[in-house]
Structure 1
Amino acid sequence: MEVLIVEPLEPRALDWLGKRRAIHVDPSLASDPRRFEALLANARGIVVPPTMRLDARMLLAAPALRAVCRLEGGPGNIDLLACESAGIAVVQPAGAGAVAEAEFATAAMLQLLRRVPVHEGEGVYVGRELSASTVGIVGMSPTARLLAQLAGGFGARVVGYDPALHASDSGWRQTGIRPVPLAELFESCDVVVVLLAYYSRYHGLLGERLLEACKADQVLVCLSPSSVFDEEALAAALGSGRLAAAWFDRIEPGWLDPGRALCGIDTLHVTPRLAPSTRESRARGAWALVRRLDALLGAPPADAAFTETVPSALFGPGGDPELA
């Protein structure tokens, strides 16, 4: 066995890899850590789901390991420092879900603007149109460019902020997004979409100072881990009505429990990580992942036979998904 696969992958991508490498596929290993560790000792590459933990102790017991692969983006339970110290590459197709996420965020914006009415005066409550809105994107992930195109197609004005991207960076011009300071974004936008990749330094970044000063009746869509927000400040903004509604596609365990600040707030909508979960995004991610894994493991055995090519239609004009 050369590659241990615990996370189910798109069958054609798995078949392609199986013709080049000796693979062992067993999703049941996700709930059987002892068996997984026993097989890990001889693996050169592994594909694991986000629920599985890989710490320094486990990596020390895998001297042949050269690549750890995850179909879903984000560090999750992988000890990145231990991987780096051991010379193990961490492969994640970060852009595979960009199309799915951009579509989901657009649908969420439309839903919130139309289904959460605002007071127009004289007792009249009405919905709003995306075409008349200013959309602020926080985090220039691969999804941001596509989302800006979709929002712009409706006629919305799009601005953005990224803590790791200077306002003079050419990337802003390429995406068609006008960079603004974070405070200005919250103060001026009708809709805010948060796409930040999570790092510990971003914990609670979006807090009281920003949310108290947000534009009245603002709606918010977050595809990032909810911990980029300050929990109490988010609850206060929603509770006061300053923030008209928020849609989170993932939320920290316990945040909705009785006694917590967000419990019972009816303008908070939560879905269980649905944004990137499409058949097409999983297929794109699987192909990007197996190709990168194959390259990292070096030349395949001389007797490996393979004829299947990667279906380029999955990737479209933008090419391959980005790999973290």
Structure 2
Amino acid sequence: MDLLVVEPLETEVMQWLESRHAVRFAPELAFEPRALRQALYNVRAIIVPPSCAIDAQALHYAPVLRAVGRASAGAENIDLDACARNGVEVVRSLTASAQAEAEFMIGALLSMLRRVPVVGSDGMLVGRELGAATVGLVGMPPAARSMSQLLGAFGSKVVGYDPSLHASDSVWERWRVRPMGLRELLETCDAVCVQLAYFSRYQGLLGDRFLPFCKPNQVIVSTAHSALFDEKALAAVLSSGRVAAAWFDSMEPGALDSGRPLAGITTLQITPRVASTTRESRLRSAWAVARRIDELLAAAPQPQRDFRPTDPSVPADLADGPVSP
């Protein structure tokens, strides 16, 4: 079998794939890990939803697998290192959801700046305009480019920080974002959008070292992994009102349970990873993944090692190549 599709795709994409390859559509395998592993034996490519784990154990059952595709944003369910070791390409679109994520963050900023009032110079509680705000982008993924364009249309000032980009990198100028250190960004900005790719070395990056220096009445939107934030430090700035409101598009399970630092904080809003999911972004992503998998399947298959049973009368040579006489 050429392709196993576990994640539902748009009808036109499925029809296109079925016209070119032997395809099995089996969404029920998303909830049956054992059956999924058993189904991988003769599969050359698979498209999986976030609920399916493709790790070293799963790859052990997939001797001819060449590609793992994911149309949904992210890849937390795929062991990238294990795939690389086994010569399996991970296929996903890094740009398909950029516009959707940018629009989500703009909507969240508009909502919080108006919904959470501040005290004006005349003593009245009033909302704020996005066009008058300085907005900081923490992380410079493809969505940051769309964010800069949309914020520019509002008239906002845009600054940014990314630990993987030097201040002299041309991307800052091309995307019209002024580079800035993280502490200076937090001290300067009226609103902050966090979209930094998560690595374990960034765990708790936004914690006691930086969050206490946030500009008063700042609002924060995050589409990044919540582990970038230290729970206690985030709870402290929200409870004190230094950060007026925060909107996270995902949160570690149990983070809001009783006894945890963020429990009961009314100025914290959580949505279940909807930023990157729109009809348009899913269609763009599905086509990008489908076309790349089609290219891989159309290529000549990789030669498989010959199976040679051990003959007790012939000494085996453990090195590659023919059996020693």
Is TM-score (shorter-chain normalized) higher than 0.5?
Answer: yes
User: What corresponds to 2:306 in structure 1?
Assistant: none
Structure 2 counterpart of 1:179: 179
- Using the alignment, how far apart are the partners of 1:283 and 1:13 within structure 2? 8
The alignment partner of 2:280 has SS state of: helix
How far, CA to CA, are the matches of 2:83 and 2:290 in structure 1?
Answer: 19
Tell me: higher relative CO, structure 1 or 2? Use CA pairs within 8 A at least 6 residues apart. 1
Match of 1:23 in 2: 23
Q: Which moved more, 1:106-115 or 1:198-207?
A: 198-207
What TM-score do you get using the length of structure 2 for normalisation? 0.90
Measured against aligned partners, the alpha-carbon deviations of 1:273-299 in whole angstroms (never above 9, x if no partner) come to: 111111111000000000111112234
Match of 1:132 in 2: 132
Amino acid at match of 1:205: L
Aligned to 2:33: 33
Per-residue CA deviation, residues 104-150 of structure 1 (Å, 9 max, x unaligned), is: 10010001111100122564211111111000001111110011111
Normalization by structure 1: what TM-score?
0.90
| 1:269 alignment counterpart | 269
Corresponding residue for 1:288?
288
**After the TM superposition, which of the residue ranges 35-44 and 152-161 deviates more from structure 2?**
35-44
Partner residue, 2:220 = 220
- Which residue pairs with 1:318 in the alignment? none
Residue-by-residue CA offset, 1:202-241 (whole Å, 9 max, x unaligned) = 2111111211001010000001111111111111110111
Quick one: which amino acid aligns to residue 244 of structure 1?
A
Correspondence for 1:72: 72
Q: What aligned pairs does 1:2-21 form with structure 2 within 5 A after superposition?
A: 2-21=2-21
Residues of 2 paired with 1:98 and 1:147: CA distance? 9
C-alpha distance in 2 between matches for 1:203 and 1:70: 25
Residue 10 of structure 1 deviates from its aligned partner by 1.3
Q: Unmatched 5+ residue regions in structure 1?
A: 302-324
CA RMSD of aligned residues (A): 1.3
Say whether the 8 Å CA contact 2:73–2:276 is kept in structure 1. no
Check conservation: 1:74, 1:197, Cα contact below 8 A: no
Which runs of 5 or more residues in structure 2 are unaligned? Answer: 302-325
Partner of 2:151: 151
Q: What's the % identity of the aligned pairs?
A: 56
Deviations 1:254-289 (A, max 9, x none): 111111100110000111111111111100000000
Give the SS at the match of 1:111.
helix
Q: Name which of structure 1's ranges 52-61 and 282-291 shifts more when overlaid on structure 2.
A: 52-61
CA distance in 1, matches of 2:216, 2:225: 24
SS of alignment partner, residue 131 of structure 2 = helix
8 Å CA contact retained: 1:21, 1:300 = no
Q: In the alignment, which residue of structure 2 is the partner of 1:322? A: none
Separation (CA, whole Å) in 1 of partners of 2:299 and 2:163: 40
Q: Secondary structure at the match of 1:297?
A: helix
Q: Tell me how far 1:160 sits from its aligned partner.
A: 0.5
Which residue of the partner structure matches residue 42 of structure 1? 42
Q: What amino acid is aligned across from residue 261 of structure 2 in structure 1?
A: A
CA distance, structure 1, for counterparts of residue 139 and residue 158 of structure 2: 13
Structure-2 separation of matches of 1:246 and 1:175 = 25
